């Protein structure tokens, strides 16, 4: 067995993976800011750690995966400018920040469920952990890392020489190193807010008392406070989209290494590249968001999107467009068809025959999570003339524990339908009845089909049906 190696953003190298505690792995992933729906790029940043978790579990590790919910403090600029995204959404919609957070947290869970992501061990909300954030800030203050300005309490990055390490920041190159000596200004442009005061005369929906004054925590603080609560003061793996490395993760790291007195705080930083929309920035604030439900409305199985994501290595930018998505949907359907054809095989497989395939599959993932390579081995098995059907079945189901494509249960609606003209005719008859508002007939046909275990799905392309 080859050893497990992951690329670590901080060292810019691949290295052997060894958990802090033998047999157990803690993973922390930055979760959604719940002021709007997730777009499918955000969801790539959820699918990558889910694959990582499934793979580590298949290797026998006990995994604790923590993903936070950001429901306060994330300002529009990602750093210290602009308004809080939650407050802004509340002003726009007339709902409270809590109502908005609840709505989009539920939607995010629904997206994760549709994508067959494994349940999380912990899913803490920032607003449920205000005290933990204040305690962390107090520790930083006692250790001399903070200073106070009129609008908030800031972290002084000059006190932490490793500040630029994670993202290889070139602060001097940006001409940002000159100190701003004025009391009301930040000492360094990159100093970041730990606790922000509510602006004069502004009543925020979300504000709390603190030793420094009434206000709210800076966005970065929540991840240091909640990760240490649920995973301890050192973490095996921290994941997130690559954009988070320069500001959010750099600041999380500074806070944590200074407050906990550890180095490194995180053993492996795993950052996935973006899903690219052909040069167009997909953003909730711009309003050109493509959500998972948009794909589902076009008749695309959410798991076909999971399959799409698996086709690229996580450190590659992946371009999303309609053709590429449709090609992936066809690929996924073919794989499901292959799995369906093996479902009734009763013979037992031969572990000795399967061993070399299992090894190649896991070695691909052990090499910095090479999902495209693992998918290639999966296809080799699905297409193989040399393997017995029982071995194909065993291998596909074992691989799918890690891929998460639900090959054991998935159906291919249209294609199964094409195989049965009688049912096609009944579905068409029901559709005609519905169009003529003859609901008695359409309901009767639907119930008769249901009795045979057939479900009709209405889609923009017309009705489709599936067994089970």
Which residue has 């711009």 as its token pair? 286
Q: Among ligand AMP, Zn ion, none, what binds residue 33 when CB lies within 5 to 8 Å by partner kind?
A: ligand AMP
* Position among 30, 136, 412, 454 found at the interface with ligand AMP (CB under 6 A): 30
The Cα 439–Cα 202 span in angstroms is 56
* Position among 4, 27, 30, 52 found at the interface with Zn ion (CB under 5 A): 30
Which of 41-49, 145-153, 343-351, 355-363 is the region at the interface with ligand AMP (rule: CB under 6 A)?
Answer: 41-49
Beta carbon nearer to Zn ion, 252 or 400 = 252
Q: Among ligand AMP, Zn ion, none, what binds residue 223 when CB lies within 5 to 8 Å by partner kind?
A: Zn ion
All residues at 6 or more sequence positions from 97 whose CB lies less than 8 Å from its CB, including other chains: 71, 72, 86, 87, 89, 90, 205, 206
272 and 45 Cβ atoms separated by less than 8 Å:
yes
Which of 23-31, 113-121, 276-284, 309-317 is the region at the interface with Zn ion (rule: CB under 5 A)?
Answer: 23-31
The Cα 17–Cα 172 span in angstroms is 34
Report the Cα–Cα distance between both ends of the chain, in Å, rounded: 40
Q: Among Zn ion, ligand AMP, none, what binds residue 135 when CB lies within 5 to 8 Å by partner kind?
A: none
Number of amino acids touching ligand AMP (CB under 6 A): 14
The Cα 376–Cα 378 span in angstroms is 5
* Contact call for residue 274 and ligand AMP (CB under 6 A): yes
* Contact call for residue 32 and ligand AMP (CB under 6 A): yes
* Contact call for residue 250 and ligand AMP (CB under 6 A): no
208 and 135 Cβ atoms separated by less than 8 Å:
no
* Contact call for residue 42 and ligand AMP (CB under 6 A): yes
Beta carbon nearer to ligand AMP, 28 or 274 = 274
* Position among 10, 27, 37, 45 found at the interface with ligand AMP (CB under 6 A): 45
* Position among 114, 140, 275, 449 found at the interface with ligand AMP (CB under 6 A): 275
Binding mask 415-444 toward ligand AMP (x if CB under 6 A, else -) reads ------------------------------
Q: Closest Cα partner for 133 from 36, 78, 211? A: 211
225 and 136 Cβ atoms separated by less than 8 Å:
yes
Tell how strand 152-155 and strand 192-197 pair up.
Answer: antiparallel
Which residue has 């995973």 as its token pair? 231
Tell how strand 275-276 and strand 318-319 pair up.
Answer: parallel
- Per CB under 6 A, contacts with ligand AMP among 363-402 are none
The Cα 198–Cα 188 span in angstroms is 22
The Cα 334–Cα 344 span in angstroms is 17
Tell me the closest approach of the beta carbon of residue 278 to ligand AMP, in angstroms.
12
| Both tokens assigned to 16 | 């052997």
* Contact call for residue 258 and Zn ion (CB under 5 A): no
* Contact call for residue 124 and ligand AMP (CB under 6 A): no
* Contact call for residue 237 and Zn ion (CB under 5 A): no
Residues of the shown chain interacting with Zn ion in the complex, contacts defined by CB under 5 A: 30, 223
Residues of the shown chain interacting with ligand AMP in the complex, contacts defined by CB under 6 A: 30, 32-33, 41-42, 44-45, 240-241, 243-244, 274-275, 282
């Amino acid at each position: 067995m080859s050893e497990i190696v992951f690329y670590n953003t901080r060292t810019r190298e691949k290295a052997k993976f060894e958990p802090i505690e033998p047999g157990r792995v803690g993973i922390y992933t930055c979760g959604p800011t719940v002021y709007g729906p997730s777009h499918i790029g955000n969801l790539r940043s959820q699918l990558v750690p889910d694959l990582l978790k499934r793979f580590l579990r298949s290797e026998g590790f006990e995994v604790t995966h923590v993903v936070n919910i950001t429901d306060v403090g994330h300002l529009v600029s990602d750093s210290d400018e602009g308004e809080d995204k939650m407050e802004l959404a509340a002003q726009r919609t007339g709902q409270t920040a809590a109502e908005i957070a609840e709505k989009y947290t539920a939607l995010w869970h629904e997206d994760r469920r549709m994508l067959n992501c494994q349940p999380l061990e912990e899913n803490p909300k920032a607003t449920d952990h205000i005290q933990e954030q204040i305690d962390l800030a107090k520790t930083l203050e006692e250790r001399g890392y903070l200073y106070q300005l009129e609008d908030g309490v800031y972290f002084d990055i000059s006190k932490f020489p490793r500040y630029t390490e994670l993202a290889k920041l070139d602060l001097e190159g940006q001409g940002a190193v000159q100190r701003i000596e004025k009391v009301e200004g930040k000492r360094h442009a990159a100093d970041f807010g730990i606790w922000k005061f509510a602006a004069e005369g502004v009543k925020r929906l979300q504000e709390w008392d603190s030793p420094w004054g009434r206000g709210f925590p800076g966005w970065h603080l929540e991840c240091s406070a909640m990760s240490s609560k649920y995973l301890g003061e050192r973490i095996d793996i921290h994941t997130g989209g690559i954009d988070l490395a320069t500001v959010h993760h750099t600041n999380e790291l500074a806070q944590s290494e200074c407050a906990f007195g550890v180095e490194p705080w995180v053993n492996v930083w795993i950052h996935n590249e973006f899903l690219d929309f052909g040069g167009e920035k997909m953003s909730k604030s711009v309003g050109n968001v493509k959500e998972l439900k948009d794909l589902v409305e076009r008749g695309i199985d959410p798991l076909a999107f999971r399959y799409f994501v698996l086709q690229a290595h996580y450190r590659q930018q992946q371009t999303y467009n309609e053709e590429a998505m449709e090609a992936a949907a066809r690929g996924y359907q073919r794989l499901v068809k292959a799995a369906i054809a093996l479902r009734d095989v009763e013979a037992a497989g031969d572990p000795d025959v399967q061993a070399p395939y299992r090894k190649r599959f896991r070695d691909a993932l052990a090499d910095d999570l090479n999902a495209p390579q693992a998918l290639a081995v999966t296809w080799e098995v699905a297409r193989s003339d040399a393997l017995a059907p029982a071995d194909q079945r065993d291998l596909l189901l074992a691989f799918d524990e890690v891929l998460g494509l639900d090959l054991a249960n998935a159906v291919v609606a249209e294609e199964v339908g094409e195989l049965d003209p009688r049912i096609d005719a009944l579905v068409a008859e029901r559709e005609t009845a519905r169009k003529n508002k003859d609901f008695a007939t359409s309901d009767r046909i639907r119930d008769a089909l249901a009795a045979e275990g057939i479900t009709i799905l209405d889609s923009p392309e017309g009705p489709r049906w599936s067994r089970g």
